[in-house]
Structure 1
């Protein structure tokens, strides 16, 4: 009887002090698997975030991101308050897409109540990233005018990874690249251009690498005014500057119209004796770019395609008129 007790005691000690089985090389332990969050790891403008798989309650504080998500066929739960460009007009339905503040200032109370799975910031809301990321996993969509189309493509790929939409993104990107290459064939030898933003009666010019530098840097329109500052707000100019540079093409962005203040102000500002002396004016080559699409959501893949199409249409129509 004593021998049986001794054997049982030895077996008990062996079981109690048996070392846990080590995982095979390259394999996670059960504890590590349990601790690891389920989702996709996405690198973005302000770090790396684990995005939950198939997030449903997505809140967006950036129109560029909203543009891309719509193109990727990803729906969202809540958005910042208007204005919206025409192609994003469906998000103006506040009953369907609850307001979560503005592009500059989130409504944190509404956001907390919404209990989002994912928040997306960018552009005007990037400064609020730290606060937003305390509420839910947050992605920040960066934008660079220095290499505009490359930035659009990178952001499309970023959001595609977050939602498992890589195949859709590849098709959109290929279409964009082909359409931009076609436009470059039109613009290369058709004269020089100048990009001008008008707001409150004042004018600013934008060159390559600036906020609206896509016209030169990617669409291939030669510069009428070399050496402009590559800045967010452009370089302040006047009508005499435009006459001196004498662009063959004048691309105009009416900021007041984009923000719903004073539509048509740009036409009034430019319709003066000095600007009327330019080749662009005399040849009917003043192109008023869609203000809301260009100014509000210009870095979205849909927006840049719409901008590309508008420029291509202007060149095509002018070529037909000169035949």
Structure 2
């Protein structure tokens, strides 16, 4: 069956229709990978960044697929050797769209975090059309939407206020307006401890955290996700959380999120639910 894939280069505001039969894809975005997994269509994947696989995808058999190189550094020499109908990328490769387009049409699996569910649903629907799994995608999206609605209802009952921080190379930075923060606060409904969130990052030191006074601190460890030295959780507890508790006269809980899920993936049929469940569990503890 021939399918018509609308290739949306959202970052460049370009689109075109590409007709293809038995399409084969290089998938550089793990949200797209887990969406194809949920739709039982991983056979379409001829290559993916095997060296960066998130933990939740490592148990699958990827022997049929080539290693496409790093998430930010695709192996273009290998691209020349493979029959490719489509390249699916994340925003990390947004500045390489023109180069990648020389090998195959490019679908940018980016997400509008201010219109999250609509944006994610559009991406998933596009992949489903490519994989000839539209009915399965409709069912999966409904199941995801229903589960998320239940999680949102549970979260709405909590008065706990949270702050999202990222760890990188020994430094903690508050990111109250990042994509992950918008997913947690705007989409899931967790109350934001930062009442005046600003774009960019703020050093998550004791004075700042004391002024924000969060009940929860969600940590996304970039260093751990990319294979560098992870955050020393015990040291951070001793040097930052204990003094913070004393300053605020309350117990602030630091929640270490799955770094490979939150930093390397997201926005797929599987990863959306995994992330939401992780936040729900943290609020219940």
TM-score by length of 2: 0.85
2:104 pairs with 1:136: yes
- Which residues of structure 2 form unaligned runs of 5+? none
Q: Which runs of 5+ in 1 are unaligned?
A: 1-37, 319-323
Pairing 1:192–2:161 present: yes
* Alignment partner of 1:40 is 2:9: no
Over alpha carbons, which structure has the higher Rg? 1
Give the corresponding residue for 1:275. Answer: 244
Aligned residues: 276
Distance 2:165 2:249 in 1: 13
1:247 equivalenced with 2:211 (yes/no): no
- Greater RCO structure (CA 8 Å; 6+ sep): 2
2:28 is matched with 61
Match of 1:162 among 130, 137, 160: 130
Partner Cα separation in structure 1 for residue 229 and residue 247 of structure 2: 25
> 2:278 is matched with which residue?
310
Aligned-residue RMSD, C-alpha? 2.5
The correspondence for 1:212, drawn from 160, 168, 181, is 181
The whole-number CA distance in structure 2 between the counterparts of 1:91 and 1:48 is 33
Structure having the larger proportion of residues in strand: 2
Q: Report the equivalent of 1:222.
A: 191
Mapped to 2, the partners of 1:280 and 1:150 lie a distance apart of 41
**Corresponding residue number in structure 1 for 2:144:** 176
TM-aligned CA distance change 1:192 to 1:39, over 3 Å: same
CA 1:116 to 1:275, structure 2 compared with 1: closer, same or farther past 3 Å? Answer: same
In structure 1, C-alpha distance between the alignment counterparts of 2:29 and 2:264, rounded to whole Å:
9
